[in-house]
Structure 1
Amino acid sequence: MRKGLLAASVAMLSLLLSGCVSIPSSGNVQQGDPAPSDASSLDLDILVDPPIVDGTQQQILDGFLTAALSPRNNYQAAYEFLTPAFKEQWQADENATIDVLADREFEEVSDSQIQLTATPAASLRDNGQYEVATSAAPLQLPYTFEQVQGQWRIASAPAGIVIDQANFTQVFREYTLYFFDPAYRFLVPDSRWFAGRDSAQTSVVQALLAGPAAWLAPGVVTAFPEGTELSPAAVPVSGRVAEVSLTGAAFDDIAAAQRMQLQLNQSLVGSVRNVGDVALILNGVESDAGIPANPAVRDPRVDPRPVVFDGESLGYLSTSGDGITPIPGISEQVAQSDASGAAIGPDAESAAILDESGVSVITADADPVPLDPRSGLITPAFDRDGVVWSVPADAPSDLVWFSADGQKSDRIPVPWSGTSIAAIEVSRDGTRLLALLGDGPRTYFLVAAIVRDGDGLPVELGTTVLRLAEVDGVPLDVAWVDGRSVVSLTRVDGEATRIVTQDLGGFASTRDGPLAGRLLDAGNSIRDVRVLTDSGSLVVQSGVGWQERASGIRFIASQLPG
């Protein structure tokens, strides 16, 4: 085997990024780094050379892989490297394999075939959904060649494109689509990646009409009626107004029209370049329904103060870190129970606690109600529908829930496997369950959709999950940062810890946590991540280190928006 492409590709990409784009790049983006937030840095206009005259098979393949970095005119430049017959078959936008450039190797399998061996970092589905690779096992990608009028051209190749990590965010941009929780109280984000600045608004609307990603679909709904089509099949933008023309349904429900408008506004305005407003046209008539009078909430926020317990009081830690404001009617009961963990319920009117007797729920001025007496339980999770979730650490499949009136579920089938489970937390909109699991020497976390009935009680978890990053070590804790980001804490090498921050449907970043970290809380942003150590110190990141904010803390409690 040889690394024939590597030197050629590095040279091409260096030239590409330094002088052949309309907007310069500031450098490579490695997998795990957050995607750039400046839209202008993503709207690149890549210039690609045509096939080399009398080029070798390797040169033609090098040129094809580089040309596939340009989505202009539906990857027109890449199609120039294909035989006339294969041009009719190859689908550039079917999917994308995101690989590690330095690991690419090539082997001449025969006098008409070259095999590319690539190390996958992630993949992109045809609907724009980004998925972290679940295995680093090499991919074998064959390319065959034929001569066309004396020139080598590619006669067969894998569907979609192969793009390295460094260039992925130069070609693709992340967009957030929005759907609803089943009660239309909240807007739920669904991240997608699309290439091509001129067609981004069309890609977003088509994806909205196609519906949520498979893993999210069981827990959300859309306002667009089944059979709705974009006609014409493009979204023109004039004067910063995107014109979305829909057909295929009656559209006689004003509430549905208002929700469609809200979904379009949230998914396009401020996300797609040059879109400042959306004109919705239904069966040829411009809608004047507007948006709902009480629109669904996007990204509900929690109290920025962490909820902590110091052995005497459960409440909100002051900004200075030298005092706790107790939660009335609950703080005293938690102190009496000698709880080791807790989750605060909606509006801080209740708490699910873990103590030696198991999991109980506490409400103001009422006796604790025992829920789950099983041994070895982890700290329970509370959701905004008043449901408490509970599972033993060494039995990840034994998940159950309890309603506000004490109703207990049967064991909920779980869409995960592992030897242990360290933490669970429900998203603030109630649509998704986050779980941190151990599987032998590895830690991984995932998100599954929650299916609920008309009363808000869980029915099941979605069978397809969004699997997130993996690291070596012992799983400790997870938290929601906001509606589309999560964070995990893992113990590695003695007292050292790792913190993984993950965009759902996007990148993960890993950083060193504090020594002897045990629990974490995220507030409303990455800057708000707080870690509790074994010694009872609550620390926050300050520069490259960790600074103590409070001491004598027994545990941090998750909380829900008011």
Structure 2
Amino acid sequence: MPGAERGRAVPGTSTMTRNRPGRRPGGPGVPARVLAALLALCFLLVAGCSAIPTQGPVGVIPAAEGEPDAVAPAFDPQGPASGATPERILRDFITAGTGAGDGYSVARQYLTPELEKTWKPEERIVLFRSDPRVEKREAEGVYQIQLETTGTVDGRGLRTNSAVPATETLGVRMVQVNGEWRIGEIPDGIMLAQSSAQDLLISHDLYFYSSNYRFWVPDARWFVRRTGVTARIVGAMLAGPAPYLQGSVTSAFPEGVTLARDSVPITSGRASVELSSEVLENATDLGLQQMNQQLQVNLLGLNDVTSVEMTSGRPIELGATSADLVVPELTPDVGGEQVGIAGGELVRVRNGAVVPIEGLPSVAGLQPRDPAASVSGSAYAFVNADRTTLYVTAPGSQARSVGKGSALTQPSFDPENWVWTTRAVAGRREVIAIPPGGTEANASVLAAGWLGDRTVEELRVSRDGSRALVVTERGGTSEVLLAGIIRSTEGVPQSLTTPLTLPTDGTVDTAKWAGQSTIVASSTGADEEATPVILQLDGEQETMAALDGVLGISAGSDAEDTFYAQAGSTLYRRIGNSWVDEQLQVLDPAFPG
């Protein structure tokens, strides 16, 4: 790479602040692009058949190390000790939660016979650090467990991480059974030390359709690593998306469809998914084929699954391939070219060089800043220097004003070429989206009451067009938020859902998409040292080497090969754990989107 040859490296180390115990579909060593090719091939093969194959030799697929269906690593908790005190019973019960085998049979030994039958161990998982405190209360048999928590995982696999450690207190009632202390009342769920959770929990992306069925949208979940987790993943998918995605993504499965049994047998690599009868109600060939696609994208590569069959009492016939069946994109590629500003003009940045955009009229007189490019490269947008006017331009077309306001944020193109920005209105922020060829007169002003008095630093639409990444500041505290985009049946943006908060440490002034499940973020300041961070939607974080004077960041389809930082008037590229000076005099570089 030319820039790397002539540049200088800023060394540093990468720190994983949360261990990444699980894997995404495709497993370790299987890149997303390989999985996408496998999915496309499988969809084509299935589309050519009238029904999913149901014949084949019966075999047992051993779970490889790290596979989601593998039994959890060597945790061998013991049952209650004879004559143990209530405090000892409670402490040992917490430890017993690491034993997921046989339906948490060891942990159930600490419960009364009545509670043993109703206790739901995975209804809520509390993650903690430091030793739990067990204290006796004044009332007879009443105790409490105090935990310094780092997060929770609910019954749907949704993980919530605490930005800073918090404290949680669980009330417990102890009773004697045959002369031995047992737990008579305790909230459903288990408690896992953070160190144990790194081995016992796995992350897995569920996938739902974008509202136009063109893209797969990931929904990060966490599950206990144990036999039967494949069924839990399918069950979670059938139950629908996370709250922040509801209304912005679509499932091919009708509401009310469930697994007909609590397992998904895998025979010679084929996962057999037995569904409740509702799956066939008013089902069309297109709908069934879309359901099959969704099952495949959620299961292929998981525990060596190579094909999927849907059944409901018998194999489900898919029918002839529908002309309307679309194979959605799993990992939208935005290419390796950026738009930036050099000499007051919009320019292309690619392969270590800055070149003019062919056919683009001069925009220097408009003092352009913060440019954006459509994925097709056919349109560009930018704001003026004082961020009061939004412009759109294209090769062969003069720039035209499409919106005005105060403190406009960097524009962002969605896949349908709507141009998004935010502006300050009467002390509050408003989100606007300009349609292709349109102006402020026919813009969509999105409902997002949750913005309240937050100051919006940045808004970036995901490459699937279903989610908005929003960086805000309120009361001196930075927030990185992820909201779903709800559209009309015609695709017009209407509102943003109540967002998911991504925990971050320190100040964040800017954030960008780096693929479907990855976000890069950083503080900015000409005279400050910044430490950019890579955020995964499942809560994982990776801290990059520090860099002085960061003014902005940009990222392409991943954070490994296409992660850049502008420091001063030059561009640095991430190479491994270091920053390499590309020695390119360019401002505000941005990948398409």
Q: TM-score per shorter chain, which class?
A: 0.7 to 0.9
Q: Is the 8 A contact 2:429 2:455 kept in 1?
A: no
Equivalent residue, structure 1, for 2:304? 274
How many residues align? The count is 525
Against the structure 1 CA distance between its residues 391 and 203, is the aligned structure 2 distance closer, same or farther, given a 3 Å change threshold?
A: same
Give the conservation status (yes or no) of the 8 Å contact 1:360–1:368: yes
Partner residue of 1:384 out of 395, 415, 427: 415
- 1:478-557 to 2 correspondences below 5 Å: 478-491=511-524, 495-557=528-590
Structure showing greater relative contact order (alpha-carbon pairs closer than 8 Å, 6 or more residues apart):
2
Compared with structure 1, are the counterparts of its residues 456 and 216 closer, same or farther at alpha carbon in structure 2 (3 Å cutoff)?
same
State which of 116, 122, 134 in structure 2 corresponds to 1:106. Answer: 134
| Pair 1:307 & 2:293 matched | no
Instruction: Report the TM-score when normalising by structure 1.
Output: 0.87
Conserved in 1, the CA contact under 8 Å of 2:244 and 2:500? yes
Matched residues in 1 for 2:297 and 2:550: separation? Answer: 38
1:518–1:532 contact (8 Å) kept in structure 2: yes
| 2:463 is aligned with 1:436 | no
Percent identity over paired residues: 24
- Contact 2:481 / 2:502 at 8 angstroms: preserved in 1? yes
User: Any idea what the Cα deviations from partners look like across 1:358-379, whole Å, max 9, x if unmatched?
Assistant: 1111122222221222132221
Q: Give the match for residue 171 of structure 1.
A: 200
How far is the alpha carbon of 1:254 from its aligned partner?
A: 1.0
**Which secondary structure does the structure 2 equivalent of 1:61 belong to?**
helix
Instruction: Describe the superposition over 1:61-104 as per-residue Cα deviations: whole angstroms up to 9, x where unpaired.
Output: 1211111112222222211111112223322121111122x263
Structure 1 pair 286/401, CA: closer, same or farther in 2 (3 Å)?
Answer: closer
Distance 1:460 1:361 in 2: 23
- Any stretches of 5+ residues in structure 1 without a counterpart? 1-28
The answer on 1:358 being equivalent to 2:389 is: yes
Shift of 1:338: 2.4
In structure 2, the CA distance between the partners of 1:542 and 1:300, relative to structure 1 (3 Å rule), is closer
Match of 1:338 in 2: 367
Partner SS, residue 258 of structure 1: helix
Distance in 1, Cα, partners of 2:319 & 2:103: 35
Which residue is 1:454 aligned to? 489
Structure 1 residue 433 displacement after superposition: 0.3
* Alpha-carbon offset, residue 336 of structure 1: 4.5
Distance 1:238-1:98 versus aligned 2 partners, 3 A rule: same
Q: Are 1:40 and 2:74 matched, yes or no? A: no
Query: Partners of 1:339 and 1:189 in 2: how far apart?
Result: 34
Q: Which contiguous aligned blocks of 4+ residues in structure 1 show a shift greater than 6 angstroms? A: none
1:318 aligns with 2:350: yes
1:496 and 1:516 in contact (8 A); partners too: yes
Quick one: distance in 2 between partners of 1:170 and 1:493?
41
**One-letter amino acid of the structure 2 residue matched with residue 441 of structure 1:** G
Contact 1:108/1:114 (<8 A) preserved: yes
Structure 2 vs 1, CA of residues 549 and 467 (structure 1 numbering), >3 Å: closer, same or farther?
same
1:291 & 1:431 partners in 2: Cα distance? 27
Other-structure match for 1:284: 314
Aligned CA RMSD, in angstroms, stands at 2.5
> Does 1:241 find its partner at 2:270?
yes
- Whole-Å Cα distance in 2 between the matches of residues 539 and 506 of structure 1? 26
2:126 corresponds, among 97, 103, 109, to: 97
Give the 3 Å change call, closer, same or farther, for CA 469–255 of structure 1 in structure 2. Answer: same
Q: In structure 1, how many angstroms separate the alpha carbons of the residues matched to 2:321 and 2:533?
A: 37
After TM superposition, the structure 1 stretch with the greater mean CA deviation from structure 2, 386-395 or 29-38, is: 29-38
Using structure 2 for the length normalisation, give the TM-score: 0.83
Deviation of the 1:220 alpha carbon: 0.6
The residue identity in structure 2 corresponding to 1:104 is: P
Q: Which one of the candidate residues 248, 256, 260 is aligned to 1:227? A: 256
Answer yes or no: is the 8 Å Cα contact 1:218–1:451 preserved in 2: yes
Contact 1:443–1:471 (8 Å) recurs in 2: no
Distance in 1 (CA, whole Å) between partners of 2:142 and 2:17 is 30
Deviations 1:210-237 (A, max 9, x none): 1111111210111112232322342111
Q: How far is 1:298 from its partner? A: 0.7
Q: Which range moved further: 252-261 or 424-433?
A: 252-261
In the TM superposition, residue 417 of structure 1 has moved relative to its aligned partner by: 4.6
Residues in 2 aligned to 1:341 and 1:477: alpha-carbon distance in whole angstroms: 12
- Would the alpha carbon gap of residues 240 and 291 (structure 1) be closer, same or farther in structure 2, given more than 3 Å must change? farther
Tell me which residue corresponds to 1:22. none
In structure 1, what is the Cα distance between the partners aligned to 2:363 and 2:152?
Answer: 46
The answer to whether the 8 Å contact 1:209/1:229 transfers is yes
Aligned-partner Cα distance in 2 for 1:531–1:166: 33
Pair 1:306–1:290, CA change in 2 (3 A): farther
Is 1:487–1:502's contact at 8 Å kept on the other side of the alignment? yes
Superposition pairs for residues 74-223 of structure 1, below 5 Å?
74-100=103-129, 102=130, 104-110=132-138, 112-133=141-162, 136-223=165-252
| Partner AA of 1:507 in structure 2 | E
Q: What is the alpha-carbon distance in structure 2 between the residues aligned to residue 273 and residue 409 of structure 1?
A: 44
Q: Is the 8 A contact 1:436 1:488 kept in 2?
A: no
Letter in 1 for 2:273: V
Segments of 5+ residues of structure 2 without an aligned counterpart are 1-14, 29-63
- 1:461 maps to a residue whose letter is L
Tell whether 2:450 aligns with 1:421: no
TM-aligned CA distance change 1:433 to 1:77, over 3 Å: same
> Deviation of residue 309 (structure 1)?
2.2
| Cα contact 1:517–1:531 (8 A) shared by 2 | no
1:380·1:390 contact (CA, 8 Å) conserved in 2? yes
